[in-house]
Amino acid sequence: MWSEFRKKSRAGFDINLYRNTQKKKIGGVCAGLADHFEIDPNIMRILLVAGLIFTGAVAFWAYIGAWVALSPRPIAEEAATRYEYDEGERRYRRKKIFRYQRSSSERLRDADERLSTLVRRVESMERYVTSRRFDLDKAFADLHKGGRS
């Protein structure tokens, strides 16, 4: 069990999660988490200090636990970096926690267009089902079924 955990830790838990010993101040945990979340390491350090102020020992022990659990980032970072295939871009790219490269407003606009298309299709089906044409088509289908028996 422990060897399996260490193996996953050395692989960055398959989500590029390491301690960054190149940009470290103490143990590299904040720098590694900042790399993972793609933010500035100083922001992560500020969050840690805020956590220490508001939670006290909990944040301290969480930092120590992360220090033990996370392996240092390999020196040959490119070789150790995991990639994933991006369908939208049709290419391989580094695996990130935030999968979307387009802005949220663009994704929202696309979702709105897809929803509008879906609403138009449902309205079209509704018009057909409530029309006289549907009743006529149903009557012919019933006649056709009755003729087969």
* Three-state DSSP string of 38-91: CCCHHHHHHHHHHHHHHHCHHHHHHHHHHHHHCCECCCCHHHHCCEEEECCCCE
**Tell me, what's the pLDDT at 3?**
72
The verdict on 81 and 109 lying in the same domain is: no
More confident residue, 3 or 139: 139
Whether the per-residue pLDDT at 23 is higher than 60: the answer is yes
The verdict on 90 and 110 lying in the same domain is: no
Residue 78 confidence class, pLDDT cut points 50, 70, 90:
very low
Number of H helices, E strands in the chain: 7, 2
Whether the per-residue pLDDT at 135 is higher than 60: the answer is yes
Q: Average pLDDT, stretch 27-32?
A: 83
Question: Per mean pLDDT, which range of 26-35, 121-130, 131-140 is the poorest?
Answer: 26-35
Domain that holds residue 139: 104-148
**Any idea which residue has 């609403």 for tokens?**
119
pTM: 0.47
The verdict on 74 and 111 lying in the same domain is: no
The verdict on 108 and 79 lying in the same domain is: no
The verdict on 71 and 119 lying in the same domain is: no
Whether the per-residue pLDDT at 149 is higher than 70: the answer is no
Whether the per-residue pLDDT at 137 is higher than 80: the answer is yes
The verdict on 125 and 84 lying in the same domain is: no
